[in-house]
Structure 1
């Protein structure tokens, strides 16, 4: 695909060099985080914790601008077009900076060339969950139910991870399931809780409370290795989908051509935040494994993730739309 080739060629140029940045930058007005998902989503919760901590570090207020829809492309386009002055940043995930390169025939932004990497924020933990009324107590019973009712068992999605995970589960298990897409996780989750959709592969942040109170049932987590956040929940690899390993990340970007002194200030602030135990603790309370990185590390990681998501999407048999 032309976009992927252009992204990979641009990768070495996209990572900012901050070692020689001598001028200290300070924001002159409030900063805005643009988000590709709705209020109440896992990304929204992570972004609001980050806004508090980074705002305190920089001595400025940070507001969150939720722009859900079109699989994150609306928000990505808005962040891409923002003035490269450090006052508009993009908190996003592998949906816009991994999966979309393969899920969409046309992408109006380049995830490498059109953004300045600042820092990874951490990693989500996703799990397959079903509503309390679904007659499946574990993953094996869920697949048996899908085999008995071909095309009648459904899975909701509110992001690229949910789309790819649901299709991959169906393919590996050899069952036919109905995909029900949503603009974001909150409305998708509402319909699963109400029994209108059977299942959803979703992150812990908006669902952990529902699992604990019995309104949702967790059948397996998507990482190949069990997360310390939910050590009692088996992985899908353990319960029959051998080799299943799907990971989802969040990261902080600016628009392209962000000045080196801006990147240096933001990167240094993120490194200080990431070094504090409070960052991991507060993110863990959301069901998110929080950590930070350098801009260069994030740049390399996104290039790798674009390739990895391409393999998963092709393997799931998903055609770009």
Structure 2
């Protein structure tokens, strides 16, 4: 069975996003301390001072405005605002691959008014890469719900002589150095690594600062393979510039009804998928957590919310606290099994 060699170079590369706070010349340790300090100051009142009454609930997104997490968070905030009959706002605290915002929420008062809205990476992957997060991902939060997902679609450049995952595996075995794939984030890198190890693919990972440049290079043939979100994949598939070989998961995506799942092509034991969830700081009262979970689950089943998500390229989910905890454990176990080998060449 083959492996992908992105290794330590990829892990170090992605952490350079910390310089987005415009303090590039500060020593790395001092810079990280400043970033986390700024986030904590934010949650204790500086940017939030004018946001309103005590009945304001904040969804903290640990990534920049305009990205997928932010888009979904704002749809969720709109729905929760109605369900909870109170003000719900979105705050972006980006940096350190999501660790800045996640740590700020972990340290916030556990009263249900400051919540983390995030994809999986800060809570399931961060603990396996360097630098380690300043919070314990397994103890710092309590799950509320998973309320949305994005299809993860395995794409290849149209020139690659493979129309199925099985054909791609055969091609990679016959041409061991012919395939490279894009790594725009921890989540996509880890998921591709997992898929490749299960399928027996041999590829070389190429790190990117974001999905946009990775997609550009896929279209141009610089890389041959890319795991993509559904929204980004859809536009390129319509133009027939790429081919979709599989969707990661156990059930077909409504966005890609003709694309088989990884389960259908023989990788049925993959338990990972691209999700977005809501989490509260540890110590939040059970009654408050239950109230938030009920509102989130109702939202996940709301047809109007589903329609808005679909327009944005996402799909609704409604996983309760226990189901969300199971998803967390499934993903951590998957990453724990492969993380020690990510430095292989």
With the shorter chain as reference, the TM-score category is: 0.7 to 0.9
TM-score (norm 2): 0.69
SS across alignment from 1:291: strand
Aligned mate of 1:63, from 90, 114, 126: 90
- Please give the alpha-carbon distance, in whole angstroms, between the structure 1 residues aligned to 2:238 and 2:117: 28
Aligned equivalents of 1:55 and 1:190: distance in 2?
38
Please, which moves more after superposition, 258-267 or 248-257?
258-267
Residue 189 of structure 1 aligns with which residue? Answer: 215
Query: For 1:196 and 1:108, how far apart are their aligned partners in 2?
Result: 37
CA distance in structure 2 between the partners assigned to 1:260 and 1:237 by the alignment: 36
Q: 2:306: which partner in 1?
A: 280
User: Cα distance, 1:152 vs. partner?
Assistant: 4.8
Match of 1:268 among 284, 294, 301: 294
1:279-313 deviation digits (Å, cap 9, x = unpaired): 333334444331324434433542344234434x2
Give matches, 1:1-321, under 5 Å: 28=54, 30-57=56-83, 58-65=85-92, 67-70=94-97, 72-103=98-129, 106-132=132-158, 134=160, 136-147=162-173, 149-239=175-265, 243-244=269-270, 246-260=272-286, 262-311=288-337, 313=338, 317-318=341-342
Aligned residues: 292
Asked if the contact 1:38–1:185 (Cα under 8 Å) also holds between the matched residues in 2, the reply is no
Unmatched runs of 5 consecutive residues or more in structure 2? 1-51
CA contact (8 A) 1:93 1:250 kept: yes
Shift in Å at residue 274 of structure 1? 2.9
**What is the root-mean-square deviation of aligned Cα atoms in Å?**
3.4
* Aligned 8 A contact 2:158 2:241 in 1: yes
Report the secondary structure of 1:129's partner residue.
strand
